[in-house]
Structure 1
Amino acid sequence: MEIVNRDGRDIARRLYTALVLPLDDRLQVDEAGLRKLVRYYTDHAGFARHGGLIANPEAGEAFYLTREEKRRVLEIVLEEAHGRMPVLAGTFAWTTHETVELAAEAKAMGADGLFVVPPAGSMDVSIAWDSVRYPEVWLDQIKGQDRVADLPIFTHPVTNASQPWGIGLPLEPTLKFCREVPNIVGWKMTYAYPGHRILARAMREHAPHVALLCSSAHFFHEYQSVGNFDGTISGSWNYALEPMFEHIEAFRRNDFLTARRIWDDGMARLHEYIYSEPGRLHVRYKIAAWLRGLVSSPRMRPPMPAARPEEIARIRSLMQATGLPIVEARPAA
């Protein structure tokens, strides 16, 4: 079943990037830098045809932006994308009321879909949330956004860790969400590998209209090999667009030897390091984007942690081994 938006474009089964956020020396939104970053994606013919952009994702420091800043970020991404690819609006806020308002605002601004993130900020709705027994903690918030926006919805189903799911929402509430909110068309696959496999099989059977959008780039080769890959929602596009796109294209034309060569030629090792510590994931996305010259600084807004010299050195070495161009003059941050 193909999911299309009102303009007839396939919106669910695409390669979405969770955009990092360029910041200036005062840690304010670097608007010129953000425009440059969006143009990097729109200028890549293949990505422009098959990809999409997410404004205000977790990788874009959405937790630490004001409402006005989030609005401005979305406005810039929409302006620069200019209809060349879908733009999803991250709607995270600290209250359900504001989250729903952000969804309505995104609709009014022309976003193609919503990127919804679980609520946070209290033990009851974060580390101690039992999503199987109490799915309404997040489901009610999604339904509120759906009522005011009526747009395609893409989820970021990160929650407290459990087996076999890892940090992904367990199967029972996942199927409940997909059943009760028909506008959910894309499910970000944030799961440990065994959980990914189990959930993917169940989704194919019970929610085939929902695209499996893979997140963990260090498993992309395996996900594609077994067919549990409809597209992506990943921050790894911020540093490895070209080889990642070539790798996916090789799979799409059943050229497995080329896919394996690209994967084994440094890309697997680079992704494995980026993803090796979940608490450093978004920091490392930004370091790598900075080393490529796509953003002017690797710094993030505190309390997001600072890049460490050893991380910069390791990522530089792995990127060089992969053949990715880097800006050699970049000092340790």
Structure 2
Amino acid sequence: MTSVGDHLYVAALLPFDRQMKIDEKAYRRFLRHFLDNERFVRMGGGLCINPEAGEIFYLTRQEKRRVLEIAMEEINGKVPVIAGTWAITTDETVETARDCKALGVDGIFVTPPGGAQDVTSCWDADNYPEIWLDQIIAQDRAVDLPIVTHPVGGAKPPFYPGLPLQATLRICNEVKNVVGWKMTYMYDGFMLIANGLRGLDRHVAVMGALASRFHEYKANGTFDGTLSGFWNFALDPMLDHLEAWDRKDIDKAREIWLGGLSQLHSYVADMGRLHIRYKTATWLCGLIPSPFMRAPMPKPQQHEIDTLYRLLKNVGLPVIDIKETRLAA
């Protein structure tokens, strides 16, 4: 049985203008990049609005609501929509979830709380799952919608940087509206979590995040859907790759993967620069007007711009004029 989690969700970026205000026109154009791609829609594409990649941490509640309003107008039922609810307090997180429901989303995308070290870098999720679980339950009671998780908790290997297995299973067992688990893990942790989810008494979608591992996940059958920022800049070659897998054309899938897609994704998948490289690559493809993120997110460095430019060209993706790439760093 499939659910809201079993789709190819894009963790959609958010473009800003020169004053670092939301660029609404650019955002509408960017969303149409996905909505106008008939293959993406046909293959089960979806959009995640206000994810981490969309800089939800640096948006006001009013901005989050406006971003979602724009997205719902453009999407207009064409693909499923889930929306982020993160806020600095639980009360605002719940109110943001209510905003999402009022605007008609198909599900909410929940992220662990921010703030003191007790709930961030020093959180022991296995022994104290209530630090996030209580907040998920509060949202669930408020809106009663399907839930997709963004389980980042700074766990030790093999689960770094995601949530460990015991806490994962506790949350899934206690909150039946959890339908998708974003797989924020390195490979070994991914497999432990995926096998744990497969052992539940109901289906919770295994949703690939790091596209640098999509080839392996397709090969080992742990690929129900995605919630990934890599779609922002590499939509067509990623669809080519997944289509080849779906046709069981393994030779073609390997050709695409080893023909540049793996190298591009591996470079982007630096956990300390991930979102910076998402946005820089998307800008280099001409899909958004600039690569800049709201502070405290830093600007890309020139060596990153140059490397991404080369890797994008190697995959055959269209890129902006080389002269424009010297204006950002």
The answer to whether the 8 A contact 1:175-1:207 is kept is no
SS at match of 2:153: strand
Identify the match of residue 230 of structure 1 among 224, 243, 248.
224
Alpha-carbon displacement from aligned partner over 1:144-169 (angstroms, at most 9, x marks no partner): 11111111100000111312112110
SS of 2:69's partner is: helix
Residue 188 of structure 1 contacts residue 212 of structure 1 at CA under 8 Å; is this kept in 2?
Answer: yes
Matches within 5 A, 1:1-333: 1-3=1-3, 11-49=4-42, 50-275=44-269, 277-328=270-321, 329-332=323-326, 333=328
Q: CA–CA distance in 2 between the matches of 1:121 and 1:59?
A: 19
Report the secondary structure of 1:194's partner residue. Answer: helix
SS at match of 2:113: coil
1:103 positional shift: 0.6
Judge conservation of contact 1:63–1:93 (CA < 8 Å) in 2: yes
CA contact (8 A) 2:284 2:325 kept: no
Unpaired runs of at least 5, structure 1 = 4-10
Q: How far is 1:252 from its partner?
A: 1.2
Q: Percent identity?
A: 52
Deviation at 1:2, TM superposition (A): 2.4
Q: Which letter maps to 2:196?
A: A
1:265-301: CA deviation from partner (whole Å, max 9, x where unpaired)? 10000001001x2121000000010011110000001
| Corresponding letter in the other structure for 2:305 | I
**1:321 deviation in Å?**
0.7
Which residue of structure 2 lines up, in the alignment, with residue 7 of structure 1? none
- Aligned-residue Cα RMSD (Å) equals 0.9
Deviation at 1:88, TM superposition (A): 0.8
**Residues 1:104 and 1:298: Cα distance change in structure 2 (over 3 Å):** same
Say whether the 8 Å CA contact 1:21–1:34 is kept in structure 2.
yes
TM-score normalized by structure 2? Answer: 0.97
Count, aligned residues: 325
The answer (yes or no) to whether the contact 1:178–1:207 under 8 Å persists in 2 is: no
Structure 1 moving runs of 4+ over 3 Å: none
Q: State the Cα distance separating 1:111 from its structure 2 match.
A: 1.0
In the TM superposition, what whole-angstrom CA distance separates every residue of 1:230-272 from its partner, at most 9, and x where no partner exists? 1100000001000101111111121101100100010000001
Amino acid at match of 2:7: R
What amino acid maps onto 2:105 in structure 1?
Answer: A
Amino acid of the residue matched to residue 294 of structure 1?
Answer: L
Q: Report the 3-state secondary structure (helix = DSSP H, G, I; strand = E; otherwise coil) of the residue aligned with 2:194.
A: helix
The 3-state SS of whatever aligns with 1:166 is coil
Q: Which stretches in structure 2 are left out of the alignment for 5+ residues? A: none
Q: Is this contact kept in 1: 2:155–2:164, CA < 8 A?
A: no
Q: CA deviation at 1:207?
A: 4.9
Task: Give the conservation status (yes or no) of the 8 Å contact 1:284–1:307.
Answer: yes
Q: Is contact 2:87–2:93 with CA below 8 Å preserved after alignment?
A: yes
Distance apart, 1:208 and its partner CA: 4.3
